[in-house]
Amino acid sequence: MEKFIVKGEVQLNGTIRISGAKNAILPIMAATLLCSGVSIIHDVPYLRDIKVMQDILTLFGAKIIREQDTLLIDTSNIQDADIPEHLMREMRASIFLMGPLLGRFHKVKLSYPGGCAIGPRPIDLHIKALEKIGASVKENFGFIEAQAACLTGGEINFDYPSVGATENAMMAAVLANGATIIRNAAREPEIYDLQVFLNKMGAKVIGAGTDTIRIDGIKKLTPAEHIVMSDRIQAGTFLIAAAITHGDVVVENILSEHIFSVTDKLKDIGVKITTGNNSIRVRGGDLRGVDIKTLPYPGFPTDLQAPMLSLVTNAKGTSIITETIFENRFKHVDELMRMGAKIKVEGRTAIIRGIPKLTGAIVAAHDLRAGGALVLAALAAEGVSEIENVYHIDRGYEALEEKLRSLGANISRHKKD
Ligand SMILES: CC(=O)N[C@H]1[C@@H](OP(=O)(O)OP(=O)(O)OC[C@H]2O[C@@H](n3ccc(=O)[nH]c3=O)[C@H](O)[C@@H]2O)O[C@H](CO)[C@@H](O)[C@@H]1O
Ligand SMILES: C=C(OP(=O)(O)O)C(=O)O
């Protein structure tokens, strides 16, 4: 087990480049199972979830080579296999394999996925979507078995725009007979990136990024090469890091349109934002309280709720943050209170009374973004903080401490005693 030790009150200054997005790479890696041959994915960071996806694809016989930030995934000799429960439980994205495996092998048996413990995370929408295009799905003692001699295009109307269920449905439908229409689809940029990759493989998908996606099934896909989109959540985390330390940071390789909901809120809080061509500069100012509600894209992303909550603990006045996506995504609150933050949680709403400064403390990351949020709080706090359970942070932030150090932060990684 590892921990971070952070000495706070250091302004961050400099330039940081954002790498490819975990949440775009994982479904794209799953999609490589849909064809035979070598697919190439560029700008892939070293993350724990990506290593787990590599391990799963390897079980199916895929040969994977990493050349720096490029993954070469050879699916020429893949065959059906069972995914051990411990790998399924490692991350939410393991469920993204259901659609491609069904498309390729006409049957799939999986246990339930894991992922951040941020409230119940059912997979009913994934299952219903696959049933709509002809799969028969049985749930038995923690396992899901789906089969379809032949998937057939159909109409999928989501009750809720689930990101993962939209991606699973797209990946299953590309090899189905006929056309599939997905309505009330999630509109996240990662879904558009998946569409681009699938179309490079020869699929016929249109509409990703809107709430209606149409997939005209084809018989066979071919391998593709792709530079994955940059990670808007990582970018947002660095923007907030600059703001909380009153620093001056340029975040490069980010499309500002992907995070305008975040930069708009940062401006409301009092932070100076300058948008360049594929970059954003953030300069800290006097912080004032704001109200934020997490929503599906293009609303404020739930994955930046925890980092933003850290920021407003230092904002003058009262802030109200409402989490509408996940039922239990306030585990960072108790930890921030150990650092002196004044926060009251009522149901899905956190009410934060800003204080001039947090104080360093020993705290624990309970999930990925909560871990990121505690690192940000520690950067601003007076004194030294220890953040335990760094393995959560490693799921989604590549070498976070090295990147922060390049901006001047005083942070180091240690084995926990
Ligand atoms: C690997 C990945 O890409 N993870 C992201 C993905 O997760 P994920 O794909 O799991 O998120 P979803 O959009 O599916 O979940 C949103 C909400 O829908 C509910 N739901 C979802 C599926 C289902 O079958 N039934 C159901 O009720 C969930 O419990 C949750 O309350 O989108 C989330 C929302 O932007 C992000 O926080 C995660 O970082
Ligand atoms: C919630 C997240 O990831 P996952 O869906 O993989 O748990 C996240 O990336 O913040």
Q: Where exactly are the structural domains of the chain?
A: 2-19+230-415, 22-227
Ligand 1 atom closest to the CA of 302, numbered from 1 = 37
Q: Is the CB of 91 under 6 A from ligand 2?
A: yes
Paired with 107 in beta bridges are 147
Q: Is the CB of 134 under 6 A from ligand 1?
A: no
All residue ranges of the chain with pLDDT < 50 are none
pLDDT of residue 119: 84
Q: What is the pLDDT of residues 293-338, one digit of tens each?
A: 999 999 999 999 999 999 999 999 999 999 999 999 999 999 999 9
The CA 395 to ligand 2 mean position distance, Å, reads 9
Q: Is the CB of 160 under 6 A from ligand 1?
A: yes
Assigned token pair, 362: 């020993």
Which residue, judged by its Cα, is nearest atom 4 of ligand 2? 115
Burial of 295 (0-12, 13-18, 19+ CB in 10 A): middle
The CA 356 to ligand 2 mean position distance, Å, reads 31
pLDDT of residue 62: 97
Measured CA to CA, the distance from residue 130 to residue 114 in angstroms comes to 20
Fold of 2-19+230-415: UDP-n-acetylglucosamine1-carboxyvinyl-transferase; Chain (3.65.10)
Same fold: 2-19+230-415 with 22-227: yes
**In angstroms, how far is the first alpha carbon of the chain from the final one?**
9
Whether omega before 84 lies within 30 degrees of 0, making that bond cis, reads no
Assigned token pair, 308: 């933003």
pLDDT of residue 417: 72
The CA 365 to ligand 2 mean position distance, Å, reads 14
The CA 396 to ligand 1 mean position distance, Å, reads 16
What is the sign, positive or negative, of the torsion defined by CA atoms of 324, 355, 232, 33?
A: negative
E strand intervals along 225-347: 225-227, 248-252, 272-276, 279-283, 291-293, 318-322, 342-346
Chain center to CA of 160: 18
Paired with 353 in beta bridges are 318, 342
pLDDT of residue 256: 94
Whether omega before 298 lies within 30 degrees of 0, making that bond cis, reads yes
Place of tokens 């505690």: 374
Paired with 183 in beta bridges are 157, 212
Phi, psi of 48 (to 5 degrees): -65, -45
Is the CB of residue 129 less than 8 Å from the CB of residue 165? yes
Overall pTM > 0.90: yes
State how beta strands 70-74 and 63-67 pair.
antiparallel
Q: Count, in order, helices (H) and strands (E) of the chain.
A: 14, 23
For a ligand 2 pocket test, name from 96, 121, 303 the mutation site with the most ligand atoms within 8 angstroms of its C-beta. Answer: 303
Is the CB of residue 232 less than 8 Å from the CB of residue 189? yes
Residues with catalytic function: 116
Class of domain 22-227 as given by CATH: alpha beta
CA angle 244, 246, 251 (to 5 degrees): 80
Alpha helices (H) in 93-214, listed in sequence order: 98-105, 124-132, 163-173, 189-200
Q: What is the pLDDT of residues 146-163, one digit of tens each?
A: 999 889 999 999 999 999
Assigned token pair, 2: 């590892």
Residue 23's H or E segment, with its range, is helix 22-31
Q: Is the CB of 45 under 6 A from ligand 1?
A: no
